[in-house]
Amino acid sequence: MTTPWERRYAQRTKGMGSSAIRELLKLTENPEVISFAGGLPAAELFPIDLFRAATDRVLTKYGRQALQYGTTEGYRPLREFIVDRMERYGIHATPDNVLITSGSQQALDLLGKLLINSGDLILTERPTYLGAIQAWRGYKAEFITVPVDDEGLRIDLLEEALCAGPKFMYILPNFQNPGGVTLSLERRRELIAIADRYGIPIVEDDPYGQLRFEGEHLPPLVVLDGEVMVNRNGQNNKGQGFGHGNVIYTSTFSKTLAPGLRLAWMVAPTDVVKHCVMAKQGMDLHTSTFIQMIAYEAIQDGELDKHVRLIREVYRQRRDVMLAALEKYFPPSVHWTRPQGGLFLWATLPEKMDAAELLQRAVAHHVAFVPGSAFYPNAKPDNWIGRNTMRLNFSNATPEKIELGIQRLGETLHQVMAQESVPA
Amino acid sequence: MTTPWERRYAQRTKGMGSSAIRELLKLTENPEVISFAGGLPAAELFPIDLFRAATDRVLTKYGRQALQYGTTEGYRPLREFIVDRMERYGIHATPDNVLITSGSQQALDLLGKLLINSGDLILTERPTYLGAIQAWRGYKAEFITVPVDDEGLRIDLLEEALCAGPKFMYILPNFQNPGGVTLSLERRRELIAIADRYGIPIVEDDPYGQLRFEGEHLPPLVVLDGEVMVNRNGQNNKGQGFGHGNVIYTSTFSKTLAPGLRLAWMVAPTDVVKHCVMAKQGMDLHTSTFIQMIAYEAIQDGELDKHVRLIREVYRQRRDVMLAALEKYFPPSVHWTRPQGGLFLWATLPEKMDAAELLQRAVAHHVAFVPGSAFYPNAKPDNWIGRNTMRLNFSNATPEKIELGIQRLGETLHQVMAQESVPA
């Protein structure tokens, strides 16, 4: 049964999602299934009373403004709050460098709209964030990828990839989704130097940077880029914001506050912001004024810091429980990352084991994860790219469920390996 | 001063807005200026207490769900509410035909992403909604236009335009933005018959349909299209929703409830919805769960109907005050539409008068409007298309300010005409 619309599609949604896996993951709605599949924060930690009080204040003090159309750039006090917060991480921006977006996903979509022509090549980590792949496929981008290891992007393989001429690089430096790995300081410096030498700019996506459980916070790429600029220009760029920067930085309230708000931001040179504002105007006019004002009211008086400390502590415990359970229940031939923060870790099965097939068995055994091939831009049904990998989320389930779920998954793995005569 | 990003732009924001006019309209932030420029609802009518109570209920009963990630399709109870409401207007949909969007603007952007390839031709009314032009320029669409008169789209000129082969038609049948005119029933039937004959589908944008002050509600195009289908197929399509429909319908809560929510919807055949869901996933994952649940709670128990009745009454009064003031203060050589609903009316100055120049004088005299050329897709700085027209909003200012503002605008007009020796 066709509709008059069917033959008119611009094919921009082509290959945007593997429907087989999506169907399988729908089965995780069964409450019996312990799911490590989603990227969901722990809902029991949401600061509900904080939001109730904030909403009340917003409606009492600024009801008419909150419910009216707003500016595309975003609510100015919220942009000022973000500037202050960014300063803490060494990022010297002004409110004119900040654009509020409807989730980080919209920032990625905006950058796609602004920068990508059909057939343009984007360089990403391998694996990389699925949402970026989806957003930029919509603009018919192609992808060239560089693998990550425990210290993040393999810088030694970067220059060869850059020779293909990507339009920009997309990097998640902290507790990367899906790998859980962090780009080391040394590699950050090398990356910036190479980006500068080749003239290839960087989109730095940092949703998890504030969720570090241990170790030292590492400077964002955008800060290191600023230092290079100081050397390059022989003058201090401090206070000039993002006038000539090679890096666009994005972050979000989804992981530190609540994803149901759909509230994130981009920090970029003013000319990029100006173009993004024009594009966003055509996309959704602006992000909900009401939501922006509620979030702003909620995070006053140190409430955001307080909440982030709580999340860090809970997620750290959950990561520890998951790592211990993996040691206990997983076959020794499976390897995994040990993230210092964030929401995810990444497991690699023996070669030629197919995580998508494993998922089918696992769901029958009431446990779920995301097969890793979804995070490889160039994975296809007829190649083997990323097939033996999986992403495990540790932020959403309770410690008890994490222990039980990993036990079930370990049992499934042992079973499959025995049947297929894979050495455990 | 250039940045590394500058030479990388995909040129999708090109020609998205006339910055001169935007700069001029910034002057209307001066509280002395009476502005008929925006499309703003009356903020003093926003049901603030309703939202406070609704938020409280949502956070108490469903806090965790409201603040968590949600489905891309939208909050199911809200989609069911919309299905019920659409039924009232004769639109037989199921929740699978409904997609919640972040404002109608996002629905337009989604349809652009789904349907428009670079260079595709879109047929619009002349003048038409500025936001649609902006959204679709982002996909490098071209436009062919058909003029409207007091009964809406000039159907007698439609077939000639269709021969150019547009991908779809974009129609605002009720109290059109910016013209304020309504497509007559006879022309609606003709439009549907022609669309069917030529096989050119229609995007029906209906933000104002519920804000009718007088006269009979006319059936939406999507309903008339359904009737044609019944005849065509020799069977009753009722209950089958949008299986084979030629029309995609969009509407919004921005005008009936509050624009600061950024909450709207699309009703479309399920395969279109399915593709739009994939595209929306790449654009913003989903619309804020929190906002969707607040809106749903707020409009229960007939509250939406009650509120719409209030708005209708207030806007009707304001329209009457504006029409009376126009008669009183405007030169007889200026003509204007007499909308039966909505937020806008449209004035046409004598030929060769430039509304953009008039705006400069008007702002100095503390009154503002939007020059009409912005609403003509093919208006350019070097042609005269739409130059002698203007859009006047009557929903936002109080009756006293409307009277005073139109008096000021009339004085400005008389002054300019005297100076330029245009017959008043």
Average pLDDT, chain A: 93
* CB spacing of B243 vs A1 below 8 angstroms: yes
Residues in chain B closer than 8 A to A67 (CB atoms): 43, 46, 48, 51, 258-261
Residues A69, A281: Cα–Cα separation, whole Å = 12
User: Over the stretch A324-365, which tens digit does the pLDDT of each residue have?
Assistant: 999 999 999 999 999 999 999 999 999 989 999 999 999 999
User: Is the Cβ pair A282, B201 closer than 8 Å?
Assistant: no
CATH numbers and ranges of domains, chain A = 6-46+305-420 (3.90.1150.10), 68-302 (3.40.640.10)
Report pLDDT for B92. 92
Tell me if B199 and A4 make a contact (CB, 8 A cut-off): yes
Higher model confidence: residue B209 or residue A381?
A: B209
CB B282 to CB A131 under 8 A?
yes
Q: Does any CB of chain A come closer than 8 Å to the CB of residue B44?
A: yes
Interchain pair B134, A282: CB under 8 A? yes
pLDDT of residue A282: 93
For residues B8 and A167, is the Cβ–Cβ distance under 8 A?
yes
Q: What distance in Å separates residue A110's CA from the closest CA in chain B?
A: 8
- Please indicate if any CB of chain B lies within 8 Å of the CB of A139: yes
In angstroms, rounded to a whole number, what is the distance separating the alpha carbons of residues B39 and B315? 13
Judge contact between B134 and B17, C-beta under 8 A. Answer: yes
pLDDT of residue A8: 85
- Confidence at residue B242, expressed as pLDDT on a 0 to 100 scale: 60
Distance from CA of A33 to the nearest CA of B (A): 18
Comparing C-alpha atoms, which of A100, A410, A19 is closest to residue B281? Answer: A19
Report helix, strand or coil for A392.
strand
pLDDT, mean over chain B: 93
Question: Looking at residue B6, what is its pLDDT?
Answer: 81
CB contact under 8 A, B139 and A3: no
Which of A138, A282, A285 faces B279 most closely, judged by CB atoms? A138
A3: nearest CB among B4, B272, B285 = B272
> A253: nearest CA in chain B?
B67
* Interface residue of B197, B283, B393 to substitute, partner A, most A CBs within 10 Å: B283
d(CA B298, CA B258): 11
Q: pLDDT over 90 for what percent of chain B?
A: 84
Instruction: Say whether pLDDT at A1 is over 60.
Output: no
Query: Of all residues in chain A, what percent carry a pLDDT higher than 70?
Result: 93
Enumerate the residues of chain A whose CB falls inside 8 A of the CB of residue B290.
51, 258, 260-261, 291
For residue A103, the SS3 value is: helix
CA-nearest of A93, A70, A71 to A80 is: A93
Give the residue, A143 or B17, on which the prediction is more confident.
A143
pLDDT number for residue B238: 45
pLDDT at position B231 is: 64
Q: Which amino acid is at B207?
A: P
Lowest mean pLDDT among B3-7, B160-164, B361-365: B3-7
CA distance A96 to A79: 8
A21 pLDDT higher than 90: no
CB contact under 8 A, A259 and B16: no
- CA A198, CA B315: separation in Å to the nearest integer? 59
B34-57 confidence digits (pLDDT tens): 999 999 999 999 999 999 999 999
Query: Are A369 and A385 contacting, i.e. CB atoms less than 8 angstroms apart?
Result: no
**Is a pLDDT exceeding 60 seen at residue A243?**
no
> Does B261 lie at the interface with A, CB-CB under 8 angstroms?
yes
Q: What is the pLDDT, as a whole number, of residue B22?
A: 67
CB-based contacts of B160, cutoff 8 Å, min separation 6: none
- Put simply, the answer to whether B288 touches A260 (Cβ < 8 Å) is yes
| Interchain CB contact of A261 with B (< 8 Å) | yes
Distance, in Å, from the CA atom of A86 to the CA atom of A174, rounded to the nearest integer, reads 15
B152 touches chain A (CB under 8 A): no
Please, which residues have CB within 8 angstroms of residue B416's CB and are 6 or more apart in sequence?
B353, B357, B358, B361, B422
DSSP A41: -
Q: What is the pLDDT of residues A268-309, one digit of tens each?
A: 999 999 999 999 999 999 999 999 999 999 999 999 999 999
Contact A9 B115 (CB under 8 A): yes
Residues in chain B: 424
Is A282 in contact with B105 (Cβ distance < 8 A)? yes
With beta carbons less than 8 A apart as the criterion, state whether B268 and B99 touch.
Answer: yes
Question: Rounded mean pLDDT of A6-21?
Answer: 72
CB B148 within 8 A of CB B154: yes
Q: How far apart are CA B406 and CA B362, in angstroms?
A: 10
The residues, ordered by sequence, that sit 6+ positions from B386 with a Cβ below 8 Å of its Cβ are B126, B127, B372, B373, B374, B375, B376, B379
Cis peptide before A377 (omega within 30 of 0): no
* Residue A263, token pair as written in the block: 């509230």
Strand ranges (E), B201-300: 202-205, 247-252, 264-267
Complex-level ipTM: 0.94
Question: Is residue B205's pLDDT more than 50?
Answer: yes
- DSSP lists the bridge partners of residue A203 as A170, A248
Identify the three-state secondary structure at position A72. Answer: coil
Q: Is residue B224 over pLDDT 80?
A: yes
The answer to whether residue B57 neighbours chain A at the CB level (below 8 Å) is: no
Asked if B113 has any chain A CB less than 8 Å from its own CB, the reply is yes
Question: How far is residue A295's CA from residue A260's CA, in Å, rounded to a whole number?
Answer: 11
Cβ within 8 Å, pair A10-B114: yes
Q: With contacts defined as CB-CB under 8 Å, which chain A residues touch B55? A: 52, 55-56, 59
DSSP classification of residue B117: P
Contact B369, B391 (CB under 8 A): yes
| Separation CA B189–CA B227 (nearest Å) | 10
| B15 and chain A in contact, CB less than 8 A | no
Q: Which amino acid is at A234?
A: G
Give the nearest chain A residue to B101 (CA atoms): A284
User: In this predicted model, what pLDDT tens digit does every residue of A68-111 receive, in sequence order?
Assistant: 999 999 999 999 999 999 999 999 999 999 999 999 999 999 99
State the Rg of chain B over Cα. Answer: 22
Q: Do B260 and A69 count as a contact with CB atoms less than 8 A apart?
A: yes
Report DSSP letters for A332-378, one per residue. TT-EE---SBSSEEEEEPPTT--HHHHHHHHHHTTEE-EEGGGG-TT
Mean pLDDT of B359-381: 94
| Chain B 268-307, residues with CB within 8 Å of chain A CB atoms | 268-269, 271-272, 275, 278-279, 281-291
Scored b (16 or more CB within 10 A) or e, B337-349 reads: bebbbbbbbbbbb
Residue A411 identity: E
Nearest to A138 among B9, B282, B290 (CB): B282
Q: CB within 8 A of B267, min separation 6: which ones?
A: B82, B86, B91, B93, B97, B98, B222, B242, B248, B249, B250, B251
Count H helices, E strands: chain A?
A: 13, 14
Query: Looking at the partner chain, which of B5, B40, B65 has a beta carbon nearest the beta carbon of A68?
Result: B40
The Cα–Cα gap between A129 and A375 comes to 6
pLDDT average, residue stretch B141-170: 97
Task: Give the residue carrying structure tokens 């208006």.
Answer: B379
B7 at interface of A, judged by CB pairs closer than 8 A: no
| B186 touching A (Cβ < 8 Å) | no
Distance in Å, alpha carbon of B14 to nearest chain A alpha carbon: 9
What is the rounded average pLDDT of the residues A134-159?
A: 96
Q: Is A266 helix (H, G, I), strand (E, B) or coil?
A: strand
Flag whether pLDDT at B354 surpasses 60.
yes
